[in-house]
Structure formats: C-alpha cells, structure tokens
C-alpha cells in the first residue's frame, strides 16, 4: 500500500522516539564485550559491541509494531537480511550504532540512523541522532530538514576558505592517497578555495552530517570490488541531503541504489555526498579524485 502523508508523519514520530531513546542510552554507555563480525573489509566494519545490540533492541521494540500495521519490511545491520525489503512497499533501514570504532575509542563520530525506504530505493523518512551532541536531524520527503524539531537550512553562504573532505579512515591508507589528494587540491583551486582539510574521524552517517554543516565539503566512497558501506550507512542521510538541496548520488551522478536485490553493499557504484552540484560536478570530472576510477 502507498503510505499517506499522515501515515508517514506518524511513522517519523515513531522513528524519532526510537532513535532518541537509543541515542540517549548510547550517550550514557561505554563499549563492553567488543567483538568482531564477518562481512567487512575494514576494522570499522568488523567491530560490534554490546551497546550496538542494545541500541538495536530499543529501536526494534519501537518499530516492530509498525511492520504488520503498515505492511513494512525490515533491514537492520545486526540481523540477517530476511528479504522483506524486496517484497514490501517500504522497509525500515536501521543502523543502531554507526561509527562503532570512534565509539570504542571514546571520540565523536558515531550516530543512530533510521530510514524508511520505498521498495524502489527512494527514502521517505530519515532520522539521525548524534549521542555526543544530543542532536537530532530528521526529514520527511517533501517537508524539509529539521534539527532538534526546528526547521534547519544549512548556510551555504558561510563557507570557509578550505574544501572540507570527510573521509573514512581507510582513505588515509589507500595506495593512491597522494594522487587523490592532488586531485582534491585541484578541485579546491578551481573553486577558488585555499586548500583541502581532511577529517577522517567519523563513521559514514556523521561524515555525511558534517558535510551538510560545513560547506563547501564532500564525502566520497569510490567503487570497489567488495564492501563500500551498506544501505543502512546512507539511507537516512540521503534524504536529509535531498531535503536540504544538497547532493547525494553515486559517483556517476545517478541516484543512490538503496535497495539493490543482490546485496546490501554500495561498492558497485560508490557514493558521493557534496554540499552543492558545482562541487559534485568537479569531483566527477575525469582526472579528478572521483573521475579516475
């Protein structure tokens, strides 16, 4: 069934309450029983803690009653994909604690992320809670972005003199790191900026949120043979970007593939978040950091 505006608003309220409750629990917790799981190439994608699972339990307790009532499927990081996302009209897409590595290290850069995504891969609700700053961002498609319940419009005219590049920690370890930095510095020159500032301290969700808050900036994940982050890393923030008038696409400029049938990973087409289309186009230009793949 197609959800009405009123139903989407009701579901957004449930997601906001769930993300806030989980985030507040995380804020008062320290990592215990750190374990490693299969399926990821980097350390950040392999670690999981008891707090990740407690957060998921809190979220599912709130969202499970909506599955049957609204005929909604479910995809959540710490459980096996049951395929309901491919048959239901919509599905909840949950990352109960994105950025587990900074959480373990006691640094900022982790968040709770909940999205409601259509079977066609289009997000309709996006909710992100930052436990460190006690900040909630949310959006319903067509309704704009809200920060702690108030309409929020990132101020593009307050851009700094540097191009801020938010990156996964693995970016710093790539064999072609210096070549990619040179390409990014060329982009900065073309935009009339003084240089490039790299921040590789956060998980995917907070990286995207920091792009919105720090124009001109970007977050890029190049295509690769495996891994590349999963749907739950990008679904909520993709809607925040759409509602803020920013760019959230694959690296070729196409829509993010948020419900691919064969995998939950996003490695096949990569990910590009940017504060504006002019920056995104330069990053996609052959010879630039994104265009060289």
Helix extents (H) in the chain: 5-27, 43-46, 50-70, 100-105, 177-190, 204-213, 231-244, 277-284
CA distance 221 to 269: 9
The label of the residue with tokens 């801020």 reads 164
CA distance 127 to 95: 11
On the question of pLDDT at 149 being above 70, the answer is: yes
Mean pLDDT, to the nearest integer, of 125-147?
98
Burial string for 236-252 (b: 16+ CB within 10 Å, else e) reads bbbbbbbbbebbbbbbe
On the question of pLDDT at 5 being above 80, the answer is: yes
pLDDT digits (tens, 9 = 90+) for 236-256: 999 999 999 999 999 999 999
Q: Is the dihedral of CA 75, 78, 83, 86 positive or negative?
A: positive
CA distance 137 to 115: 12
The better pLDDT of the pair 74, 50 is held by 74
Mean pLDDT, to the nearest integer, of 163-185?
90
What's the pTM value of the predicted model, to 2 decimals? 0.92
Q: What is the pLDDT of residue 160?
A: 60
Domains, in order of start, for the chain = 5-151 (3.30.540.10), 156-284 (3.40.190.80)
Per-residue pLDDT band at 161 (split at 50, 70, 90): confident
Q: What is the pLDDT of residue 43?
A: 44
Structure tokens at 97: 């604690």
How many CB atoms are closer than 10 A to CB 42?
14
Structure tokens at 210: 């920091």
Instruction: Kindly report which listed range (39-43, 56-60, 70-74) carries the lowest average pLDDT score.
Output: 39-43
pLDDT digits (tens, 9 = 90+) for 201-217: 999 999 999 999 999 99
On the question of pLDDT at 39 being above 70, the answer is: no
Per-residue pLDDT band at 285 (split at 50, 70, 90): confident
């Amino acid at each position: 069934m197609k959800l009405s505006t009123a139903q989407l608003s009701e579901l957004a309220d449930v997601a906001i309450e769930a993300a806030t409750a989980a985030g507040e629990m995380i804020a008062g917790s320290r990592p215990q029983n750190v374990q490693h799981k299969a399926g990821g190439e980097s350390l950040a994608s392999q670690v999981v803690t008891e707090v990740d699972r407690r957060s998921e339990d809190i979220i599912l307790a709130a969202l499970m009653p909506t599955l049957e009532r609204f005929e909604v499927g479910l995809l959540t990081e710490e459980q096996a994909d049951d395929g309901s996302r491919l048959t239901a009209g919509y599905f909840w897409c949950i990352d109960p604690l994105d950025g587990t590595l900074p959480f373990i290290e006691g640094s900022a850069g982790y968040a709770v992320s909940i999205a409601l995504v259509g079977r066609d891969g289009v997000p309709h609700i996006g909710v992100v809670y930052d436990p460190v700053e006690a900040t909630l961002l949310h959006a319903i498609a067509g309704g704009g972005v809200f920060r702690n319940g108030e309409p929020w419009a990132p101020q593009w005219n307050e851009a700094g003199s540097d191009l801020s590049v938010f990156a996964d920690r693995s970016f710093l370890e790539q064999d072609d790191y210096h070549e990619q930095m040179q390409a990014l510095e060329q982009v900065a020159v073309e935009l009339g900026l003084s240089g490039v500032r790299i921040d590789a301290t956060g998980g995917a969700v907070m990286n995207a949120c920091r792009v919105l808050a720090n124009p001109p900036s970007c977050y890029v994940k190049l295509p690769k043979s495996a891994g590349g982050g999963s749907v739950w890393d990008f679904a909520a923030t993709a809607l925040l970007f759409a509602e803020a008038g920013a760019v959230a696409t694959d690296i070729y400029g196409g829509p993010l593939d948020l419900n691919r049938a064969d995998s939950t990973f996003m490695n096949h087409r990569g990910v590009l978040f940017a504060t504006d289309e002019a920056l995104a186009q330069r990053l996609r230009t052959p010879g630039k950091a994104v265009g060289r793949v």
